[in-house]
Chains A and B, each alone.
Chain A
Amino acid sequence: MSKKILSGPYIMWMIGFILIPLALIVYYGLTDRSGAFTLANVLSVTSPEHAKALWLSLGLSFISTVLCLILAYPLAMVLRSRGMGQGSFIVFIFILPMWMNFLLRTLAWQTLLEKNGVINGILTALHLPNQNLINTSGAIILGMVYNFLPFMVLPIYNVLMKIDDNVISAARDLGANSVQVLFRILFPLSIPGIVSGITMVFVPALTTFVISNLLGGSKILLIGNVIEQEFTKGSNWNLGSGLSLVLMIFILISMALIAKYDKNGEGTAF
């Protein structure tokens, strides 16, 4: 009984801030302006502009996720070899920028990449040709990788730290070389962390609209931008909700993957 009372506030929280908003999105997504049931909002994802925005978002977030993984795994390996004390200090340094607002950090990148920005300023000083960096897909990928990399590092680091050193010693005793230890022992054991990291990078990257606005100069339309525009400028909440429902399918797929590979919740970052 007392347990029920204790969980009361959380249940209220979940109802008020998760279930009701979700229900509202489903309601708006499946009705038209007059309130009649329709699938048109959801199906509108197949229209050329929406489909293009969705594919572009999927493509850019896929590339960002792969880059994050390539950068994060070796880093997590290094941190593991550093042992507990030094390793966690480096992790601390790594997540330190996350204490600063995400928007400010993205705006800072804008200042760095601009035509008259810091990077081009240095290039000019070195008598090198200026580069057109801002307002490109590359700038958006950079923004995504920069902002979401810690979400990849932490779960992989957590999983790797939990692997018993004796397992590795045993593998070596049985004749495995370093490459075999990496690919047949460490890698399979860290799958829960990798899957969790992939989800935690891929999902926010897929839905972002701020990064593409700030670093893409609004010239590159992602699905997140379409949804944002429907809500704030188009006054078409129904269409915005319908497209959000489509995005949720991808998020559900990612969660299903986590549930499959990370049964013990080992890879969760926090």
Chain B
Amino acid sequence: MKKTLSKIMTVGSLCALTLSLLSGCGKSAPKSGSAGEVYVYNWGEYIDESVIQEFEKETGIKVVYDMFETNEEMYPVIEAGGVKYDAVCPSDYMIQKMIENNLLAEINFDNVPNIKEIDPRYQEMSKSFDPENKYSVPYCWGTVGILYNTSMVDPKDVPTKWSDLWDVKFKDNILMQDSVRDAFMVALKSLGYSSNTTNEEEIKEAKELLIKQKPLVQAYVIDQVRDKMIGGEAAVGVIYSGEMLYIQNEVKDLGLDYSLEYVIPEEGTNLWLDSWVIPANAPNKENAEKWIDFLCRPDIAKKNFDYITYPTPNKGAFDLLDPELQNNKAVFPDVDSLKNSEVYKYLGDEVDSRYNEAWKEVKSN
């Protein structure tokens, strides 16, 4: 779930979406049977570009590379099938939705020998949305947690639980995530409920809790949490663990007189996975498998990790990293600290709109 996507880009991507829908018929479909191409659809800024060139050089397969900004934006493109992609990289719950709607092809793992490099732990995690590990290959993963500013938070007030985000001491100093599922995850977890709940009462309780929190919140943001926290705008913020390496480096480079620390709240959090899948209508399935296999190669996975800085599920790549990085708990947290955490599940259109309605009530309150 690449979160460094800027809201602003949504405008552009909406325009692009309109264009791509319109020109869907005009865009020449990849020639079937031609072994020479692979159509890749990935998050923005979610690959080291030199990896693409390296793949092209090694295999002779031409990569046609497109990007999306949100799972919700990617889904209708694949569903409509006007533009056919071979390899796509959605998040957990969206993969489940695609499986349920028969949009994905089973991966032939004979063509992906490097799957052995993926830590079995993440295959296990994947089972919550891909029960038999038939459709997806993990690419990046991470957690959601609380980032706090050591100079603005008294050592005795250091947040350890989600419910600390309701502490009036932090009034106007809290940055919340501006996305339905993440905001509700915070409230649901602090109430002790599952972040995948479909229970109307629990959603309502979470909604009321979020409304109660709103006067304390400085802003609801997505990628701006990172820059606002570095700039010392707020004391605490809800953030994706993938941003931590960037933040730590930035704090060091700027020589700031405070540091930013990451906490995984006790109540458990969201564990997310972005995995490669192959759409059912992929014209170049074998090339897609080659592409996925290439990305699983430890040296390539390490290169991508260096660029993206989101935790890699690739055991081989992990072993290549500096011990200092391997022990960086903000990037690679202990398994113990994740025991109450859950991966998002697709809850169905009806429950989704229930969450959306509730979120709108929070926002308009």
- Choose from A53, A116, A232 the contact partner of B70 (Cβ within 8 Å): A232
Contact A52–B364 (Cβ < 8 Å): yes
Q: A213-B7, A217-B221 are in contact. Are A232 and B231 (CB under 8 A)?
A: no
- Choose from A116, A221, A234 the contact partner of B363 (Cβ within 8 Å): A221
Q: A16-B22, A21-B18, A135-B219 are in contact. Are A218 and B356 (CB under 8 A)?
A: no
Contact A116–B233 (Cβ < 8 Å): yes
Contact A218–B22 (Cβ < 8 Å): no
| Residue on A nearest B18 in the bound complex, by CB | A21
| Residue on B nearest A20 in the bound complex, by CB | B22
Contact B219–A234 (Cβ < 8 Å): no
Binds A, one of B172-180, B269-277, B287-295: B172-180
Q: A103-B8, A210-B11 are in contact. Are A217 and B219 (CB under 8 A)?
A: yes
Q: A219-B214, A233-B356 are in contact. Are A49 and B22 (CB under 8 A)?
A: no
Residue of A17, A107, A221, A226 ringed by the most chain B CB atoms within 10 A = A221
Residue of A17, A115, A225, A226 ringed by the most chain B CB atoms within 10 A = A115
Within 8 A of A (CB), among B313-362: 349, 352-353, 356-357, 359-361
Contact with B along A93-117 (1 / 0, CB 8 A): 0000000000100010000001110
Q: Is B81 an interface residue (CB 8 A)?
A: no
Chain A residues closer than 8 Å to B76, beta-carbon distance = 235, 237
- Choose from B14, B214, B232, B349 the contact partner of A231 (Cβ within 8 Å): B14
Q: A20-B22, A219-B220 are in contact. Are A33 and B349 (CB under 8 A)?
A: yes
Contact A49–B361 (Cβ < 8 Å): yes
Q: A128–B364 Cα gap in the complex (Å)?
A: 33
Within 8 A of A (CB), among B202-242: 214, 217-221, 231-234
Q: Which residues of A contact B (CB under 8 A)?
A: 16-17, 20-21, 33, 48-50, 52-53, 103, 107, 114-116, 132, 134-135, 210, 213-214, 217-219, 221, 225-226, 228-237
Chain A residues closer than 8 Å to B217, beta-carbon distance = 219
Contact A226–B18 (Cβ < 8 Å): no
| Residue on B nearest A106 in the bound complex, by CB | B8
Q: Is B194 an interface residue (CB 8 A)?
A: no
Chain A residues closer than 8 Å to B10, beta-carbon distance = 228, 232
| Residue on A nearest B8 in the bound complex, by CB | A103
| Residue on A nearest B69 in the bound complex, by CB | A232
Chain B interface size, under 10 / 10 to 19 / 20 to 34 / 35 or more: 35 or more
Chain A residues closer than 8 Å to B221, beta-carbon distance = 217-218
Chain B interface, >50% SS class: helix
Q: Is B170 an interface residue (CB 8 A)?
A: no
Q: Which residues of B contact A (CB under 8 A)?
A: 7-8, 10-11, 14, 18, 22, 69-70, 72-73, 75-76, 172, 178-180, 214, 217-221, 231-234, 349, 352-353, 356-357, 359-361, 363-364
| Residue on A nearest B353 in the bound complex, by CB | A236
Chain A residues closer than 8 Å to B70, beta-carbon distance = 232-233
Contact A232–B22 (Cβ < 8 Å): no
Q: A135-B219, A217-B221, A233-B179 are in contact. Are A116 and B231 (CB under 8 A)?
A: yes
Contact A218–B178 (Cβ < 8 Å): yes
Contact B8–A210 (Cβ < 8 Å): yes
Chain A residues closer than 8 Å to B14, beta-carbon distance = 231-232
Q: A226–B14 Cα gap in the complex (Å)?
A: 15
Contact B8–A49 (Cβ < 8 Å): no
| Residue on B nearest A235 in the bound complex, by CB | B72
Contact B218–A235 (Cβ < 8 Å): no
Q: A48–B358 Cα gap in the complex (Å)?
A: 12
* The 6 nearest A-B residue pairs measured at CB: A217-B219, A218-B220, A221-B363, A49-B364, A221-B364, A234-B356
Q: A132-B172, A229-B360, A232-B73 are in contact. Are A219 and B219 (CB under 8 A)?
A: yes
- Choose from B11, B72, B219, B231 the contact partner of A218 (Cβ within 8 Å): B219
Q: How far is the CB of B225 from chain A (nearest CB, A)?
A: 12
Q: A116-B231, A210-B8, A228-B10 are in contact. Are A235 and B219 (CB under 8 A)?
A: no
Contact A234–B22 (Cβ < 8 Å): no
Chain B residues closer than 8 Å to A114, beta-carbon distance = 231, 233
